[in-house]
Each structure stands twice: as structure tokens, then as C-alpha cells.
Amino acid sequence: MSGFASESAAIFFDADKLNIFKRRLEETAFFQFKKGCNDIVSTLLCVAAHIGKDQIVPEEELFCTEIINRGFEIFQQSFNSVDKDQTSTMMGSDSISPLT
């Protein structure tokens, strides 16, 4: 999956998206600070400052590839859930399972 994540990060994280994520991290840091969760504030601001650099290569950045990996995980969970729902609907409670 890491090959897909690297390739997807390179495509997905253009300059505009990196700026959006940078801003979102800064906003999250502010809200965490207001809530008194100071332990995570510096981490959020460090990541925001790092991805805000002009020379960033998204496919080499852990933050970017982890965002892509998490997206893949959510997609897979959703796909598995839909597949399971369709299978149970097709098998209905009054159906005879081929395994019995």
C-alpha cells in the first residue's frame, strides 16, 4: 500500500491543498490551546510549519502519506461494510445457506 500512498500523495497534495492543510493544522492547534490541551499544540504547529515550506515533497512526508493511508483505510472499511450488507441482504433470513 505504501507505493499507492506515495503516488497518491504526490498527486493529491498540490500547493493549494498543502496550504489548506497547513491552515487547518494551525486552527486545530488554536482550538486545542483554548481547550487546555497544550501537549499537542506544539506538534500541530511544527507539522503546519513543516508542510508550509515551499520545497516539500509530499510523497516523502509522513504526514501526507499517512493522510492518504487513512483515506485508503476508510475506503476499505466502507467497501467491506457495503459488501457485507449486500451479502446479508442477498442471503435473507429465510434463505438456505450453501454452507449448511
Domain spans of the chain, in order of start: 2-66
pLDDT in tens, 76-97: 999 888 767 666 665 555 555 5
C-beta separation of 9 from 64 below 8 A:
yes
pLDDT in tens, 8-64: 888 998 889 999 999 999 999 999 999 999 999 999 999 999 988 878 888 888 888
Q: The whole model's pTM is what?
A: 0.66
Is 95 strand, coil or helix?
A: coil
